[in-house]
Amino acid sequence: MSSITALNGAFHNGMIEIKDAGLIGMITLRGDLKSEVVAKALNFVLGVTVPDQRKITSTPKGSVAWMSPDELLIIIEYKDVSKVISSLNNILSGSHSLVVDVSDARAVFALTGNAIRDVLSKGTPADLSKDVLPIGEVRRSRIAQLAVAFWFTDEISCQLICFRSVGAYIMEWLKNASENGSEVNFH
């Protein structure tokens, strides 16, 4: 496991604040999301239920984001990844499942400000209207043709995840798209 993030503490303040979210534990869980054993594992280890399609659920122990019909992204404290993987594997033993640490394969951005939807709309084909992308709904999409996932945690806060290898590029894209005076007034 790494001791620094892909973004190494990057920060920018324009129309929105963009910052490296720091070391975040991320685990991909693949399997039958409708199975009792997956539900049991998530409840026992994190105290959460399997989220509905395109939703993210959270408890003080962590968050679980629906990524596809057979994939969840578990977001926890970085230091707890090995322990959580071990616990999940013990409970899921014998079931058709995969539990993988992807913490160091991703870059995570914390976006803050009233113009997040305005900034993201410059590079993603996703519908960012509040009716289509409400708080707590995960959207897998692209920014500048690169794979990303993002969700709003409240009206002015958003988490964005991309592959580590393109983290610096996404940071530069976000900085450019959030330059003051470049508003498109998306609503």
pLDDT tens digits, one per residue of 129-164? 999 999 999 999 999 999 999 999 999 999 999 999
Predicted pLDDT of residue 127: 95
Residue 115 has pLDDT above 80, yes or no: yes
Q: What are phi and psi of 28, to 5 degrees?
A: -90, 130
Residue 12 has pLDDT above 90, yes or no: yes
Confidence of residue 183 (pLDDT cuts 50, 70, 90): confident
Average pLDDT value for residue range 151-180? 97
The predicted model scores a pTM of 0.93
Q: Cα separation of 129 and 54, whole Å? A: 15
What are 74's strand-pairing partners?
A: 27, 64
Predicted pLDDT of residue 146: 97
Confidence of residue 6 (pLDDT cuts 50, 70, 90): confident
Quick check: 10 and 171 in contact, CB under 8 A? yes
Calculate the average pLDDT of the chain.
95
Nearest to 150 by CA among 160, 142, 141: 160
Which domains are present in the chain?
11-22+105-177 (3.30.1360.120), 24-104 (3.30.70.1520)
Predicted pLDDT of residue 186: 62
Confidence of residue 173 (pLDDT cuts 50, 70, 90): very high
Average pLDDT value for residue range 39-68? 96
What are 118's strand-pairing partners?
A: none
Q: How far is CA 133 from the centre of its chain?
A: 14
> Which own/partner pairs from 93-97 qualify as long-range (CB within 8 Å, at least 24 positions apart)?
95/31, 95/32, 95/35, 95/37, 95/38, 96/31, 96/32, 97/29, 97/30, 97/31, 97/32, 97/37, 97/38
Which residues does 180 contact at the CB level (< 8 Å), separation at least 6?
Answer: 14, 15
Average pLDDT value for residue range 56-66? 96
Predicted pLDDT of residue 2: 62
Predicted pLDDT of residue 187: 56
User: Percent of the chain having pLDDT more than 70?
Assistant: 97
Which pair of tokens denotes residue 107?
Answer: 């870059």
